[in-house]
Chain A
């Protein structure tokens, strides 16, 4: 799941400053789960912005709020057409993908990001989120006992642990587990320690062509002969 956090109120206030009518737009999926941009956070931000303008006596905005099921698909955004028509800007609390999808769907209106999209991860417990995947496009979790060294090792090294591990913790942050020690322990449990002895050649991240696209549909010609 995508994890994001709401931007600082000051930054949001500066961003929306030029626009009188602003639609605060939540997303009902990932950002709802991580508590950054669901319906509750939309109203929290709404309340906070209203409070701020009630105190500073500056420009008075007219806010509306709405939360769609998912911002990253245009079909979910159709219901917004009328609402967007009536505002000067959309403040999207969706992830970066959501912001872009809304911006693409409503090209005449500026769409502003209300959250910082941070990483792909999961909840460790209530209110604590951990990064788990770097979307490198070349998954090797089979060899590392289901623990990703690219995201969970500070250095992202493929042949660990490095000399900086101490008591199972990382030298960069003594509260953080060393990913390679975790890998070692789990491989030990699975009796696959031989995986540790193998050498993994370095990966060339520069080679990832951006933006990436995955096409799952086959190139078929309707009505024609398909080979």
Chain B
């Protein structure tokens, strides 16, 4: 019988609200960079543990259409990812794709019920419109989408080529929208907003996109054989197969230009050349897309712009002029300046212009327009000059990303809800700025370098003759290894109880990353933006003054152990062996995960997130609860963190020293490590350990018999 005063074993379950108060984690840069503000750190971490369905749930909480983002997100999160300061950023988009595919996103059923009577019309069914409809429906409004084209999706369907976003993905999301009761009107171009109001809609969300290609403003632009990028992609995506001839030129350097060029290749053009007036550095297109286009054989000519187009002998004669880069403009992009007398002629069969797009016809709807014929809105409320009319997406921002459009749709839904409920619009509570600074050079130096692993992509030869998606999904092990690289910014350790801190400097001495330091007042500081959340200092602090910033992480091992101990008692397990097993990596979810399923009866597994968090307390408690043997299985040299194994072994040695004094053999506790080579031996090792414990168990029973 015993009791403890500092009892961390039996604590009342915390409510979500209390947990939020105690949660002292800081917002990571990836989340701050995401227009949707998704909890990326969390779902990457869940993926690293192999908890894919939970990862998908986190993703779905922050994103109405994760399967779409999984294919086409431009991932600003990856640009912000601090792992990029160490080696390469985490492949966040690819991990999301993995979670979506393996977590069963297709099976997710959306639900919504009508709680409000005010009808809302969404004009346009691009990502912004779909997202707005989704969230408004979730808020309980009857929603109707009006789409001018025959199919829903806006730019998703008519702009993005199929090899980047398979159409069944869009269909699936649209299907879910109809399931939750969103009304859909296709082939319905809205020409008058008054009409919509007359039809009884009380709020309108204008999200008509930016489908109108900008004109180059040069002679011969209307010559047959010259086509604008948006129209070209729309025709192809809606099923036409235009004959482009042999040689195709694409003018522009954005994603549309790249998409048009790669689409042209897939339509059978033999020579596709992109003409861009600046250099590669200034190219706004996604780096990977450019790379893939080059692999596929697209030719990019930099610092070139057409000045005149003429029809000659059945083909196009484009006169181009060479450029050089001049002074940076207001946005910092260097302006191209024509080089005098450098004109030259080239012949093409087709020329696609893709130098930018703008919204079309918005003026006819009676809303005030701003720069580049975009719709003018209040950035906070998304209201236009007309009461009850909101606008968002490309129609407001000009051509932007899918994620930005989704975010605009979500924001619009909230604002329309505010409007219809006569509420003052609540300001966004999110700061959208991570408090975490850059990693310091000495921290970077100490972080284990593990290169980024991108999912496999079809070879250029295989992908250019049709429109099949070119990127494949990670396999299980690759995804987990990639997710494990996450630095888990902002959830590290902190000295929560400064009054307890004895300034012993243990944390400073044990930290593998040299993060804690003594400030000028003699106080220990653990800067949150450098901490790698390995948990070593938490377990080594002699005053127990250091904790992890997230409360559930603090209690995790204890709770899992409690659970296992209870189950073991209920199962009347004898000769119990308790194993603390890391859930990251091979022992948890990778090739060695099966080990535990095949393990002999009597072996109970306590899942832990890195064995560095297993303390002597946990090991002793396992023995106290009747375990005959205890083992700890970690990733060893494959751990994404530094020195975790050393500190674990220190603690195991401490327990080993005390066991004989209690009459237990020190070999009852053992550390297993996965190394790159022992995949096969691990089972044998575990069996051997179990046998040894079995022998000790029988011996101890015999001893008792003898004594009695």
**A residues within 8 Å of B by Cβ?**
8-10, 28-29, 32-35, 38-41, 43-44, 46-48, 50-52, 54-56, 60-67, 69, 83, 123, 125-127
Contact = CB atoms under 8 A, between A and B. Distances in A.
B5 A62 contact: no
Contacts of B281: none
Contact of B658 (A9, A54, A55, A69): A9
Contact of A32 (B1, B502, B621, B663): B502
A120 to B, nearest CB: 16
Contacts of B621: 47
A40 B541 contact: yes
Contacts of A9: 658, 661-662
B5 A64 contact: yes
A40 B506 CA distance: 13
Given A54-B624, A126-B506, A63 B662 contact: no
Contacts, number: 96
B200 interface: no
A48 B660 CA distance: 11
B1 A55 contact: no
A32, A33, A62 — most chain B CB neighbours (10 Å): A32
B11 to A, nearest CB: 15
Contact of B4 (A51, A65, A123, A126): A65
B623 interface: yes
Interface in B151-170: none
B406 to A, nearest CB: 48
B544 interface: yes
Contacts of A41: 542
B6 A39 contact: yes
A63 B5 CA distance: 9
B616 interface: yes
A39 B542 contact: yes
Interface in B639-697: 650, 654, 658, 661-664
B238 interface: no
B543 A51 contact: no
A29 B502 CA distance: 6
A50 B2 contact: yes
Contacts of A35: 506, 542
Contact of A55 (B500, B543, B616, B662): B662
Interface in B506-520: 506, 509-510
A40 B3 contact: no
Nearest to A31: B542
Interface in B179-214: none
Contacts of B506: 35, 126
A46 B2 CA distance: 10
B538 to A, nearest CB: 11
B662 to A, nearest CB: 4
Contacts of B2: 50, 61-63
Contacts of B626: 54
B393 to A, nearest CB: 56
Contact of A126 (B5, B510, B541, B624): B510
Given A38-B543, A44-B617, A46-B4, 4 more contacts: A28-B500, A39-B500, A43-B617, A126-B506
A67 to B, nearest CB: 8
Contact of A48 (B499, B509, B662): B662
B510 A33 contact: no
B702 interface: no
Contacts of A10: 661
B662 A40 contact: no
B662 A125 contact: no
Contacts of A50: 2, 620, 624
B505 interface: yes
A62 B617 contact: no
B613 to A, nearest CB: 14
Contacts of B662: 9, 48, 51-52, 55-56
Interface in B480-509: 499-500, 502-506, 509
Interface of B is mostly: loop
Nearest to B663: A55
Contacts of A29: 502
Contacts of A127: 650
Contacts of A61: 2
Contact of B6 (A8, A32, A52, A65): A65
Contacts of B6: 39, 43, 65-66
Of the listed residues B499, B542, B654, B662, the one surrounded by the most CB atoms of chain A closer than 10 A to its CB is B542
Contact of A62 (B1, B541, B664): B1
Nearest to B509: A126
B663 A56 contact: yes
A62 B3 contact: yes
A123 B542 CA distance: 14
Interface in B1-41: 1-6
B5 A66 contact: yes
B15 to A, nearest CB: 27
A64 B4 contact: yes
B336 to A, nearest CB: 60
B661 A40 contact: no
A65 B3 CA distance: 9
Nearest to A63: B2
B505 A32 contact: no
Contacts of B616: 44, 47
Given A39-B543, A63-B2, A51 B624 contact: yes
B449 to A, nearest CB: 25
20 contacts: A8-B661, A29-B502, A32-B543, A33-B502, A38-B504, A38-B543, A39-B6, A43-B4, A44-B616, A44-B620, A44-B654, A46-B4, A47-B617, A48-B662, A52-B662, A63-B2, A65-B5, A83-B5, A126-B506, A127-B650
B612 to A, nearest CB: 15
A159 B650 CA distance: 41
A61 B2 CA distance: 7
B338 to A, nearest CB: 67
Nearest to A30: B502
Contacts of B5: 64-66, 83
Interface in B529-545: 541-544
A51 B620 contact: yes
Contacts of A48: 620, 658, 661-662
Q: Which 10 A-B pairs have the closest CB atoms?
A: A47-B620, A38-B542, A33-B504, A9-B661, A126-B509, A32-B502, A51-B624, A52-B662, A39-B544, A40-B542
A63 B624 CA distance: 15
A61 B505 CA distance: 35
Contact of B502 (A28, A62, A65, A83): A28
B505 A123 contact: yes
A48 B2 CA distance: 12
Contacts of B3: 62-64
Contacts of B1: 60, 62
Nearest to B5: A64
A151 B65 CA distance: 72
Contacts of A55: 662-664
B493 to A, nearest CB: 15
A9 B655 CA distance: 12
A54 B624 CA distance: 6
Contacts of B510: 126
B624 A40 contact: no
A29 B504 CA distance: 9
A43 B544 CA distance: 10
Nearest to A57: B704
Nearest to B542: A38
Interface in B405-452: none
A61 B543 CA distance: 25
A65 B506 CA distance: 23
Given A9-B661, A55-B663, A63 B4 contact: yes
Nearest to B650: A127
Contacts of B502: 28-29, 32-33, 38
B658 A40 contact: no
A32 B504 contact: yes
Nearest to A23: B5
